[in-house]
Amino acid sequence: MLAVNDLFYLAAPTVASLFREDVALWLDRNEVRYIPKIKLTGESGYDHLFDFVIPKSRVKPERILKAINNPNRTNAEAVTFAWLDTRKVRPPESQAYVFLNDSERAPSGSVIEALQQYELRPVPGSERENVKQELAA
């Protein structure tokens, strides 16, 4: 029974939460200041929950981050809508980053291209060191 109970920790919401926590730990280790779990209201009036917001600094604009555990079309569409809706009421120089969990498999090219098409910056988890300087400033 204990072994079966342990499987509940591998349920989708738990794994997604673990990926989000992994991103938070990475931000902390790299001394990136952020506000966790922030809800922003879009032009539509809908509220959108983003995992992290890095406030504007003297040299960088506001950066909004979303961690996607399962980077598929549905999740890409959801984060794209949230960004497009929210972007209209945020400062025009705001940027969006989407951290993609690639520990099990690489995200498809179509997901990455779709995010890029709408000016979201896809960041596979294994490549997050490439954006460390952009986020830390």
- Per-residue pLDDT, 5: 54
The percent of the chain in helix, strand and coil, each rounded to the nearest 5, is 45, 25, 30
Domain CATH number, residue 8 = 3.40.1350.10
Whether 61 shows a pLDDT value over 90: the answer reads yes
- Per-residue pLDDT, 9: 47
β-pairing, 63-68 vs 47-54, is antiparallel
H or E element that contains 48? strand 47-54
> Which residue would you say has higher pLDDT here, 17 or 120?
120
Q: Which domain holds residue 90?
A: 2-136
- Per-residue pLDDT, 4: 53
- Per-residue pLDDT, 137: 78
The answer to whether the Cα torsion of 87, 90, 93, 97 is positive or negative is negative
H or E element that contains 52? strand 47-54
The answer to whether the Cα torsion of 19, 106, 9, 98 is positive or negative is positive
- Per-residue pLDDT, 2: 54
Residue type, 65: L
Give the integer Cα–Cα distance in Å for 47 and 117: 23
Number of domains composing the chain: 1
Rounded to an integer, the average pLDDT of 96-110 is 95
- pLDDT tens, residue by residue, 65-78: 999 999 999 999 99
Is residue 110 within 8 Å of residue 95, measured between CB atoms? no
Average of per-residue pLDDT values in the chain: 91
Whether 6 shows a pLDDT value over 60: the answer reads no
Rounded to an integer, the average pLDDT of 2-16 is 51
Q: Assign 28 to helix, strand or coil.
A: helix
